Amino acid sequence: MARAWQRMLSGRRLDLLDPTPVDIEIEDIAHGLAFVARWNGQTRGDYAYSVAEHSLLVEALFARMYSPAPAKWRLAALLHDAPEYVIGDMISPVKAAVGPDYGKLDDRLAAAIHIRFGLPAETPKRIKARIKKADRISAWMEATQIAGFSIAEANKFFGKPDPSVIDGLDIHLRAPVKVRAAYTARHTELLAQL
């Protein structure tokens, strides 16, 4: 039988077919996400735009859009792509080609991650829709600022964002070690507010 687990830098052994919360550490998530490039690395700049950086932006957008948002849902926004620390960031066309098995794997990992950090295994649909809205605005910002899309293209694919939501927010490309530290610090801040 093929190996279906991955050894993490923390020493944990994460079973992808049956992930358990005890095998999940924020340092592993932050490290993995800081090194996973969004847009398949097809972005401008000296560093790849990482999933960790994207997740920080999504959480900031979510907090702006739904203020005052409870800390647990801001934490859910920060962790919305956390399974990608082991399965990578597949662009939407690849996810569609892989089919429903990708979604099932993502859901299993997300449930274990949520339980590990005191969130419900499944995010309520209303909250998930709000996080998805912040995610689409983040994608619009990324598309127009670093991925080479025109504003018209980004509006077509991601929807035109409310200017007041994105006012003062810019895409920042940082070295993975800095993004990892920022992600871990934000996670710690949100956990302390639960």
16 domain residue, yes or no: no
- Region of 148 on the Ramachandran plot (φ > 0 left; ψ -120 to 50 alpha; else beta): left
- Decide if 34 contacts 176 (C-beta within 8 A): yes
Q: How far apart are CA 111 and CA 179, in angstroms?
A: 24
Flag whether 155 is in a domain. yes
34, burial (CB in 10 Å: exposed 0-12, middle 13-18, buried 19+)? buried
Report yes or no on 127 lying in a domain: yes
Domain assignment present for 42: yes
Residue 13 lies in a domain: no
Please give the tally of structural domains in the chain. Answer: 1
- Parent domain of 168: 24-192
Residue 175, domain CATH: 1.10.3210.10
Q: What is the pLDDT of residues 64-114, one digit of tens each?
A: 999 999 999 999 999 999 999 998 887 777 777 777 778 888 999 999 999
Q: What is the pLDDT of residues 158-192, one digit of tens each?
A: 999 999 999 999 998 999 999 999 999 999 999 99
Contact call for residues 158 and 143 (beta carbons, < 8 A): yes
